[in-house]
Amino acid sequence: MKKLLTLFAFPALLCLMPLTAWTQTQTVVNVVKRMAHIVRTSTLYVGEVVLDGQQSFCYLYSDDITYSTTVLGAVKYSLSDFKDGAYSALVPSVVGDMGDFGVAVCSNSAYESFMNADWTSAENAGQACFSNVTVTSASSENLYETNPDFAAKCIGDFDDVDNFVDEAGESVAINGVLGKLSATNTDIVTYTVIDGKLVKHIDRTVDYTCESVTVIYTKVELASGSASSVMGDVNGDGDVSVNDVAMIVNHILGVNDNNFIAANADINGDGEIDINDVMGTVSIILGDDGGNGNGNGGIGDTSQAYLTCPDDHHPHVSRVSRGRGN
């Protein structure tokens, strides 16, 4: 029959214990309680923009989410099954805890320069990127409340937590992704003797500090109105001209215009808007379809295009005739 003697209740007995008992100490850890203190809350907007029945782009935007491996990792995991993982794939990988806040990522990098604080709704995002469009439908929902699979993943790492509390210690309901910011162990240590062996008992309380991220999914469906779908017509006036070249150049330089039609600016279709698209627009203006002489401008192979930027900083397109031999 085992006899349990509490260390503090029988101090005299310890003096009679063999020396070997002290060298055979056993440690038993018992986690008696796990608590999660939610010390920060943030909101992440996952948006989808559909134009004329086809998805144009999706994005993530937040100005207050903690940019850390643990928080963004929890978000990435929670979104892994939503929309076939399209949004999970957009969550950036963080090397170490950066200590910054906010995230802004778009599936089409051509539109990332438009991202700002208004992108809390896909409707705002869509109208920022496309002019002369009509909103046919728009929606917004808290994924924790509407998507059971997402909700189950939000607290995947906290299944054994006994209580969720706010900074004041009051119990709170969970409505988003929980990301760990830190963990603290509080131990109460006692000793007993079992069969002549000293046993160290640790009753441990684990206290997590967490950030709760509310994930809002917004979607907008847009229909083209009078907006031009002509490649190179980035200002939507129905014509491809030097004005479009100037607008593309300004966009590259970071000067954005709400009337800029980014979809018409990616001339070579590589997903980027750069100097190659500027030159592509120049070629459209001159009727050059890539050197085959079949452009609409009738210039054929008798001229050479030049893009210049004089003192007024407005690009000018000119051509020099090469003439024809007899």
Domain boundary among 222, 241, 273: 222
Structurally, the chain folds into a number of domains equal to 2
**Secondary structure E strands in the chain:** 5-6, 26-51, 54-67, 100-106, 133-142, 163-165, 177-194, 197-224, 303-308, 316-321
Q: What stretches of 82-145 adopt beta strand conformation (E)?
A: 100-106, 133-142
312, 239, 313, 307: which is closest to 277 by C-alpha? 307
Alpha-carbon span 114 to 108, nearest angstrom: 11
Q: Is residue 30 part of a domain?
A: no
18 located within any domain = no
Last residue of a domain, one of 222, 245, 263: 222
Q: What is the token pair recorded at 52? A: 């004329």
- Which domain-ending residue is among 180, 206, 222? 222
- Write the DSSP string, 36-69: EEEEEEEEEEEEEEEETTEEEEEEEEEEEEEESH
| Amino acid occupying residue 209 | T
CA of 240: how far to CAs of 7, 95, 135, 278, 316, in Å? 90, 45, 26, 12, 13
Residues 158, 69 share a domain: yes
In which domain, by residue range, is 257 found? 228-318
Indicate the residue type of 277: D
Regarding whether 133 and 44 lie in a shared domain, the answer is: yes
Residues 139 and 65 in one domain: yes
**Residue (of 292, 295, 293) closest to 231 by Cα position:** 295
Residue 149 within any structural domain of the chain: yes
Q: What is the pLDDT of residue 297?
A: 38
Q: 158 and 43 in one domain?
A: yes
Q: Report how far residue 227's alpha carbon sits from residue 211's, in angstroms, rounded to the nearest whole number.
A: 43
Residues 43 and 157 in one domain: yes
The answer to whether position 22 is within a domain reads no
Identify whether 66 is part of a domain. yes
Tens place of pLDDT per residue across the chain (326 aa): 333 334 444 444 445 455 454 556 788 877 666 778 888 999 999 999 999 899 999 999 999 999 888 899 999 999 999 999 999 999 998 755 555 889 999 999 889 888 999 999 999 999 899 877 889 999 999 999 999 999 999 887 777 777 888 888 888 888 899 988 888 888 888 888 888 788 888 887 778 888 999 999 999 999 886 556 788 988 878 889 999 999 999 999 988 776 788 888 999 888 889 999 999 999 999 887 543 333 333 334 444 445 555 555 555 555 544 444 43
> What's the confidence (pLDDT) of residue 228?
64
CB 79 within 8 A of CB 119: no
- Same domain, yes or no, for 57 and 140? yes
**Which residues have CB under 8 Å from 244's CB, separation 6+?**
232, 233, 234, 235, 281
Reduce the DSSP state of residue 279 to 3 states and report it. helix
Please tell me the distance from the alpha carbon of residue 130 to that of residue 265, in angstroms, as a whole number: 12
Q: Are residues 70 and 157 in the same domain?
A: yes
Dihedral sign, Cα of residue 141, residue 145, residue 148, residue 154: positive
In this structure, what token pair is assigned to residue 152? 């189950």
**Per the structure block, which two tokens stand in for 12?**
């005299």
In-domain check, residue 174: no
CATH of the domain at 233: 1.10.1330.10
Does the residue 10 lie in any domain?
A: no
Q: Rounded distance, CA 51 to CA 232, Å? A: 18
Residue 199 domain flag: no
pLDDT at site 103: 92
- Strands 177-194, 5-6: pairing is antiparallel
